[in-house]
Structure 1
Amino acid sequence: MSDERLFSLRNRWFTISVFGTIALAVISALIGFVWLPSAQRDSQFTGIWNAICSAAGVPREWYSGDEVIIGPKVKLSSVQVTPQLLASASANSVGRGATLALRCTMCHGERGMSDANSPNLAGQYASVIYKQLIDFQTGARSNAVMSPMAVNLSDQDMRDLAAYYASLPRPPAQRKVSASLAPPIVAHGAPMRNIAPCAACHGGIDNKAGSPWLDGLPAAYTKAQLTAFHDGTRTNDINEVMRNVARNMTPEEIDAAAAYYARQMNGQ
């Protein structure tokens, strides 16, 4: 058995391994920190420190010195909805809103009840109308008719319109949600698919601030909005609440919910 020590410079193989490793490290350093920065002018290779960070996989914004702010890909609603928003409106505000609403009658009816597939606004929550008008104005929600109509409204105009429509009487024959009257998606939701009952936010069980009252809305309108939330083409819902619900709904459930709320106006 050899008495020669393994970790000794007298051991030829140990010497070759050590100096080979050192040579490889030096060559790698020269390539990575001298040649590469001179050949690549990108910011992640400019200077030895940036080259080290880039080689280590550190995100560029950590060492570039530039603050990178990633904004949303779509325009989001900026309205902060609370239960107190527009909770009390003056008679003057309602009167001004009635005058402004004269330009809205073609789509939304003389008294807020549409004869077309536009939403009924009579008795709608003021905070809901106010939010939607702002969203149309800012581009958080887009519509070929409503976007141009809202663009020149002042904040007070939108408050007055919301107060006026909220003051109008709702259509009769509103009914409480029950298992016998409502489709399952409205009364119970679909917990295994993370779908809360429609009635939990839109009335019947409870109402959430900012959620519209749906009874009597035209079925075509409700279906179009649920489909838009489902497809992600409408994005002005706060915290993606409606998108998270609608994307898990089936076309049959969308049709059932739209038809149910449309029938509510006539008490059928």
Structure 2
Amino acid sequence: MSDQPLFSVRNPWFGISVGVTAAIAVLSAVAGLIWLPLAQPDLKLAGVWDAICSAAGVPRAAVQEASIKPDFKTSNVVMTSEMLTKADQVSIGRGATLAQRCAICHGPQGVSDAHSPNLAGQFAAVTYKELNDFKTGARVSVVMSPFAAAMSDQDMKDVAAYYAFLPRVPSNSLDTGRPAPAVVVTGAPMRNIPPCGSCHGDIDNKAGSPWLGGQSAVYIKAQIEAFASGARRNDISEQMRNIARQMTAEEIDQVAHYYEAQP
């Protein structure tokens, strides 16, 4: 047996093992911290140091690029829980006059028989947002867009206040005993679908989310399908589009008929 100390620089086997280990460590660091980050085509890096910081999870001083904007108009309405909740009588009265032009589709009292949305009792902020989106082109309709284009901001607020003032009227399909579909009550967590009721009533109401009770099943189904296909895209942060894409045809049909039967 050799009397040469095991951990000694004069021991050739120790020197070789340390050298090989160091070489592997260096190659691993180069591959993991530099080569792999730079090889990713979608990762914009300013240089080698930027690649190292990115791989190590350290905040990096990356080159700030202009944010990518969608190639379509998005809603410019900022929603808050207190938005348009305190309308005065003058605004409501003026809105009643303006709303006469809306009666052909939405009914004289805000209740439609033509599968247009019922506006009676709808949250003022919701009606205002949709009118604003029609006006700016964030939401497009061959019927509504021309109407909204001629409305001032005050006109939209007054019309929204008037419809919010009207009492909600149940549809002809009212059935309060109809069981709620699972997607309304619990959603589908595995598909990132929250409960419909958490935004649209029953459980809670999210600012900007319309009250769906009593709406036409035909209308609700058409809107969910439009969100799913991308034909409608004025939802803030793409929240409805992300949900609608995950819903099955059966779930869409169940939701539409359930809300039509609600008060």
Q: What range describes the TM-score normalised by the shorter chain of this pair? A: 0.7 to 0.9
Say which one has the larger Rg: 1
> 3-state DSSP class of the match of 1:247?
helix
Counterpart of 1:162 (choices 149, 160, 163) is 160
Deviation at 1:137, TM superposition (A): 0.2
Deviations 1:45-71 (A, max 9, x none): xxxxxxxxxxxx978xxxxxxx75532
| 1:58-97 alignment runs, 5 A limit | 70-97=68-95
Deviation at 1:185, TM superposition (A): 1.1
Contact between 2:170 and 2:214, CA under 8 Å: does it hold in 1? Answer: no
What is the letter of the counterpart of residue 162 of structure 2?
Y
Aligned to 1:192: 190
Counterpart of 1:214 (choices 205, 212, 215) is 212
Aligned to 2:243: 245
CA–CA separation in structure 2 for the residues paired with 1:182 and 1:73: 38
Query: Measured at CA, do residues 219 and 76 of structure 1 come closer, stay the same or move farther in structure 2, by a change above 3 Å?
Result: same
Is 1:115 aligned to residue 113 of structure 2? yes
CA–CA separation in structure 2 for the residues paired with 1:132 and 1:222: 15
Deviations 1:157-215 (A, max 9, x none): 00000000000001259x9x99x720111111101100001001000011101100000
Contact between 2:220 and 2:256, CA under 8 Å: does it hold in 1? Answer: yes
How well do the aligned residues superpose, as a CA RMSD in angstroms?
A: 2.4
What is the letter of the counterpart of residue 236 of structure 2?
I
Counterpart of 1:151 (choices 149, 162, 173) is 149
What is the letter of the counterpart of residue 256 of structure 1?
Q
CA–CA separation in structure 2 for the residues paired with 1:125 and 1:202: 11
Deviations 1:218-237 (A, max 9, x none): 11100010001111111100
Give the ranges of 4+ consecutive aligned residues of structure 1 lying more than 4 Å apart after TM superposition.
Answer: none
CA–CA separation in structure 1 for the residues paired with 2:229 and 2:70: 17
Aligned to 1:6: none
Segments of 5+ residues of structure 1 without an aligned counterpart are 1-56, 60-66
Aligned to 2:169: 171
> 3-state DSSP class of the match of 2:246?
coil
Segments of 5+ residues of structure 2 without an aligned counterpart are 1-43, 47-64
Deviations 1:62-109 (A, max 9, x none): xxxxx7553212211000010111010000000000000000000000
What is the letter of the counterpart of residue 115 of structure 2?
N
Query: Measured at CA, do residues 248 and 93 of structure 1 come closer, stay the same or move farther in structure 2, by a change above 3 Å?
Result: same
What is the letter of the counterpart of residue 184 of structure 2?
V
Counterpart of 1:181 (choices 179, 182, 185) is 179
> 3-state DSSP class of the match of 2:202?
coil
Is 1:256 aligned to residue 254 of structure 2? yes
Aligned to 1:234: 232
Q: TM-score, normalised by structure 1?
A: 0.71
Deviation at 1:255, TM superposition (A): 0.6
Identity of paired residues, percent?
59
CA–CA separation in structure 2 for the residues paired with 1:236 and 1:68: 22
CA–CA separation in structure 1 for the residues paired with 2:95 and 2:237: 30
Deviation at 1:259, TM superposition (A): 0.7
> 3-state DSSP class of the match of 1:264?
coil
Deviation at 1:138, TM superposition (A): 0.2
Deviation at 1:150, TM superposition (A): 0.2
CA–CA separation in structure 2 for the residues paired with 1:207 and 1:233: 25
